[in-house]
Amino acid sequence: MHKKIIVYIPFNNINVFGKINTALTKEWIDKRLSIFMNYTLKSLKHQTNQDFIAYVVYHVASKPLIEQAILKYSPLPSNISFIAHNSYEKAVNEHIASYKYFYEVHLHSDDMYHKTFIEQVKNYKHKNETAVLICQNGYIYDSIHNRLAKYFNFSSSFNCFVYNVEDYLKGHRHKVVGWMGAIRLPHEKLEKPNYINHCHDINVAFIFERESKRNIIKDVWNDNQGATALFGKEITNEHEKKKILKDYGR
């Protein structure tokens, strides 16, 4: 009973770019849920280690629409469920109480992790002072035009917060201010290309064409000193592209 891993997946409970009202509509929920089922859920089901719990967190005001929309799909695995945002903390507290450490993995509801990511986190031995494990290397994927490229982000949202359970239950939370907040915490880096940041037609925060203007160098995973984010080599070989996507659950 050493470490508990819970994947926190915000669905429509965060006011991204002031679009919260749009994210509470049936049209948005239905479309975003389809993306989650076809990308993020497959990535979670593809993990080589299934010893985790994943909560897809929705705004409580959208509960009836969420419950209605989910009925169109096959039942979720027992370790993955949707939960109202005002119930998340209680559920977490109940699951972690008998453990020493709580690892809170962060994943958006349209993105993907490499199939070994949970395994990596499960086996990781963090330093005593570490507050977050950060993934800087990954890919950017445009599912509209089937384009894939290497990507680097200095302080990405693909990270895992490390908590002492006793401290967490007493109310301690890591404070992240701004998009560079994670890197300012005591951290360690997971060097593998662990994530796919997914661009699609309702992603308001991440756009493939806009990110491609960061194409300064090709070897972004190794030659990135001083950069905050870099768009790297595009994968044009179809066999290679399919092989990479398969490792993320596609």
| pLDDT tens for the chain, residues 1 to 250 | 699 999 999 999 987 656 678 899 999 999 999 999 999 999 999 999 999 999 999 999 999 999 999 999 999 999 999 999 999 999 999 999 999 999 999 999 999 999 999 999 999 999 999 999 999 999 999 998 899 999 999 999 999 999 999 999 999 999 988 778 899 999 999 999 999 999 886 665 667 777 777 766 679 999 998 889 899 988 999 999 999 999 999 8
Tokens representing 145?
């035009």
CATH of the domain at 22: 3.90.550
Q: Number of structural domains, the chain?
A: 1
Q: What's the CA gap between 92 and 37, in Å, rounded?
A: 23
Domain that holds residue 53: 3-246
Q: What is the pLDDT of residue 205?
A: 65
Which pLDDT value is given to residue 22? 86
- The confidence score (pLDDT) of residue 116 equals 98
As a whole number of angstroms, the distance between CA 195 and CA 14 comes to 21
pLDDT tens per residue across span 27-56:
999 999 999 999 999 999 999 999 999 999
- Measured from the Cβ of residue 206, the count of other Cβ atoms closer than 10 Å reads 17
Smallest CA-to-CA distance from 248 within 154, 107, 72 is with 107
Residue linked to tokens 């009973």 = 1
Structure tokens at 159: 């990270």
As a whole number of angstroms, the distance between CA 222 and CA 210 comes to 22
Q: Are 106 and 55 in contact (CB under 8 A)?
A: no
